[in-house]
Amino acid sequence: MNWDITTFCVLADPRETRRIDTYLAGIFPHSSRSYMQKLIEEECISVNGQTFTKNKKIYRWDLIEIRWKVEKMHIEAEDMPLEIVFENDDFAIINKDPWVNTHPTPWEDGKSGTLVNALLHHFKDLSIINWVERPGIVHRLDKNTSGLIIIAKNDRSMHAIQLKIAKRTIQKTYLALVVWIVKDEEWYIESYIWRDPKDRKRMTAIDPINPKLAQTKFKKIKEVHGKYTLLEVDLLTGRTHQIRVHLSSIGFPILWDQVYWWEKANKEALALFGLNRQWLHAWRLRFNLFGKDYSFEGMLKKDIAQIIENQA
């Protein structure tokens, strides 16, 4: 059996107490409360260095350690379409299609049809520093988000790129089409976001579990069809669903976002344009690696490009 260890400090409101199984299920949405209880019973979770029973309450500044059981999956190489924007001996830049998971998962029959399956077919000997199931993967995009993603081709580049991500020295710029007309030309949002205590599959800026700082810059590009606004978005931090949560929090949800959505606009976009996924694209990457500057832009995928074509 292999183990993956996660250690973190609780940052919940000090006036609140929560059962640890409920709290952890909120932080890790793909692990149910019953699964967390099983890990507790098997003494795979400790708080401040001690094991406990499943009804234990946790408090702010408690140090939690989880020892996850990792069962290696057998991942098959698959001959799938792969838009390679750039590659050298150290890394590759892929313009990911929508509806493709970045890496295999143990749920939703997620062992095939992923970006990793395609990478194993197109490249050889990718770095597996993270997990065997995620060769070359140093960051990810949501399944329904298209755009640029960096693939590390060896351990040297994997270490270097991970360090740059941790230090936030890789500039990530997205394009997003939002519902309603935005009047401001440029603005900035800074807030604390993380899991929604009422819905563990959502992120929120309102009383999040274990809040993390999120910073995003926005710039208006143009108005589209008199009812949408195309934005350029600079991601200054890399929180899950960060752009989607920030835009929704100020009343401009991304078109066809099914989690932070405006249902009427989504139905209209489906009828008018056939759009059935969030209009969000990882458009540009800029970074320096091993003393050389790189800048890449990924073309929009056809399903979202056709909505803004021929617009003033």
Residues designated catalytic: 142
302 vs 295: CA distance, rounded Å: 22
User: Going by C-beta distance under 8 Å and a sequence separation of 6 or more, which residues neighbour residue 146?
Assistant: 95, 96, 97, 98, 280, 281, 282, 298, 300, 301, 304
121 vs 259: CA distance, rounded Å: 33
Whether 245 contacts 204, CB under 8 Å: yes
- DSSP three-state, residue 239: coil
214 vs 96: CA distance, rounded Å: 24
Burial of 175 (0-12, 13-18, 19+ CB in 10 A): buried
Q: What's the length of the chain?
A: 312
Backbone angles phi, psi at 81, to 5 degrees: -60, 135
Q: DSSP labels for 85-150?
A: EEE-SSEEEEEEPTT--SS--SSTTTTSSSHHHHHHHH-SS---SS-TTSTTBSS---TT-EEEEE
